[in-house]
Chain A
Amino acid sequence: MTPPPATVQAPGSGETFLLNLGPQHPATHGVLRLKLTMDGEYITRAEPVCGYVHRMHEKMGENRKYAQFLPNTSRIDYLSAMHYTHAFVGAVERALGLAVPPRAEYIRVITSELNRISSHLVWFGAFLLDLGGFTPLLYAFDDREQILDLLEAITGSRLTYCYYRFGGVCHDIDNAFLEGTRAFVARMRPRLRLYHELVTDNIILRNRLIGIGPIPLELCRRYGATGPVIRGSGAAYDVRKTEPYSVYPQFDFDVPVYPEGDSMARYRVRMDEIEQSLRIVEQALERLPSGPVRAEGVPRVLKLPAGEFCCAVEAARGRFAVRIVSDRREIPWRVKLRTPSFSNLSLFEEASRGMMLPDAIALLGSLDLVIPDIDR
C-alpha cells in the first residue's frame, strides 16, 4: 500500500487545508476551537469558534437578586475570581452610595493582588507547557499553592472565593493570614529570581519568544485588547491607574510596559507584574488599618435606584467591567459583563496571519486566555 501524499506544501503554493485546533487541545486550555486554514505550515486564516462553555452568566444576572448573582462572578474567570467579584460589588456600591470601611478596602487590595499573582503563576506554568517545557509548571504550582492555602483559610474556597460583600468583605483576616502573607512575599522574591534563571534566560525560550507574534499597538486598540497584552505593545493602560478604584491610588507601584509587542514582551510584563503586586501587598500589610470590615446600614433587601451603574477593575487578564441597568426592582434589568479575554482573543485572527503553527501556539499562550471568560 502506498502512503497518502504529504499534505504539507511549500509556502505560497496556493493550496490550503483546514486544521482544527481544539476544542480539545492542550494548547487551547479548555474548549476553545480555532479553525485554521493552513498553507503548509503557515496559517492563512485562523477563525476562533467560541461558545463551547457558554453558561449565560449575563442572562442569569437578569433573573436573580444582586446577592444571588454574587457567586456567579467568581466563576466567569475562575483564575481571577477576586477581581470579578470586586467589579460587581463595586457597581452595586456605587449605585447605593455605600462607603466601604478602609480596612475592608485594604483587605480587598491584598486579596486581589494575591489572586493576580496566583493567576499569573498559572499562566506561567501553562504557557511554558504549551511551549514544551514541563518543569516550570511544577515550580509555579508550588508557589501558587501557598497563595491558595492562604486564601482558602480566610475565604473557605480555593478558587471560587466569593469573598467580597456589598459594603465590605465576608470575614475579617486574622494574624495567621497576615504572617502567612508576609512569609509569602519574602519567599516569592527569590523565587522570581529563580524563575528568571531557569526560564527567562533560557536560550530555547528566548528563541521561541523574541520577535514572535508581534502585536502592533494599533491592533490592540482596534480590538479593545487590555491588560498585559496592550502593556506588552507599549501602552501604559492599567485600570488601577487610569480609572482608579478602591484604595489603589494610595499605593506606590509601577505599570510595567514593554514596547516590542512580541510574545517576550507580554511574558516580561506578567513577570514584572508579579513583582509589582508583591510591592502593593507589602505596602498594604504595612498600613493595614483597624476597624470594621463591613459597612453599616447595608439594606437587607437590595434595590438599586433606576439607572445605569458601571465599575471596571484591572483583572489579571485586563479590564473587566460590569454594567448594571436597574429599574428599581430587586432583580437587575440587565447585567453586562465586559470580559478581557474576549477582546484579547479577537485580535488573534489578524495577528496570526502568515505565522507558522508552533509560533502561533506561542502567540496564543502569551495572550493568556481563559475560555469560560471568553464565553461567559
Chain B
Amino acid sequence: MRATLREIVLGCRSLLVGMRVTMVEFFKPVVTVPYPHEALRMPERYRGPIELVRDPATGRAICYACQLCARACPSGCITVEGVKREGERRKRVTQYQLDFSLCSLCGACVEACPDAAIRFSKRYNWATPHKEEFLLDLVRQLEQESR
C-alpha cells in the first residue's frame, strides 16, 4: 500500500517536472527560420553544384579542359571539351557539361583541379520535375552571367 502510494506521488511529480520544463520553453525565443520568407546564408565551404571560375584578367573561364575533374568524378557526371586556338598556349574550354542528377556533391572534382578553375556554388533550393534541367552547361552559364 505504502509503495503504491509512493509510486503514485513520485509518478505525478515526474509528470509535473516535465510540464515545468515545457512551460519554461514557452518563453524562450523561436529557434526555427520561417524558410520561404527568410533564407539562411550558406557557409563559405557549402557544397552546392559546381560552377566555373572566371579569370579576372581575361574575363573567360580559367579552365583549359585538362580532364582531371572528369577522371576524378566517382559518378562520371562531368564531360569537358576544349579546343586549342592558333597562337594560344593552352586549350580553351568550349563545353563543360555537368549531369547534376548523378552528382553527389563529394567535391572530388574541385579537389582534383590544379588551377582552382571550378568551385562550389551556394545554390541549394533547387527542384524541378524535369530531369533534363539538371543537365547543366557550365560554360553557357558563365557566359550568361557576364551579360
Chain A contacts to B: CB under 8 angstroms? 64, 67-72, 75, 135, 139, 142, 145, 152-157, 160, 162, 170-171, 194, 197-199, 201-204
Contacts and interface: CB of A to CB of B under 8 A. Distances in A.
Interface in B41-81: 43-47, 72-74
B24 to A, nearest CB: 9
Contacts of A75: 104
Nearest to B21: A198
Given A68-B108, A71-B104, A145-B31, A156 B21 contact: no
B21 A68 contact: no
Q: Bin the interface of chain B by size.
A: 20 to 34
A347 B31 CA distance: 40
Contact of A155 (B12, B22, B45, B104): B45
B45 A153 contact: yes
Contacts, number: 64
B108 A71 contact: yes
B15 interface: yes
Contacts of A155: 45
Contacts of A145: 31
Given A154-B45, A156-B46, A201 B17 contact: yes
Given A68-B108, A70-B106, A203-B14, 11 more contacts: A67-B108, A68-B72, A70-B108, A71-B104, A139-B25, A152-B43, A152-B45, A157-B47, A194-B21, A199-B18, A203-B10
B38 to A, nearest CB: 16
Contacts of B21: 194, 197-198
Interface in B73-105: 73-74, 104-105
A187 B65 CA distance: 49
Contacts of A153: 43-45
A300 to B, nearest CB: 10
A270 to B, nearest CB: 20
B120 interface: yes
A156 B120 contact: yes
B46 A162 contact: no
A180 B19 CA distance: 30
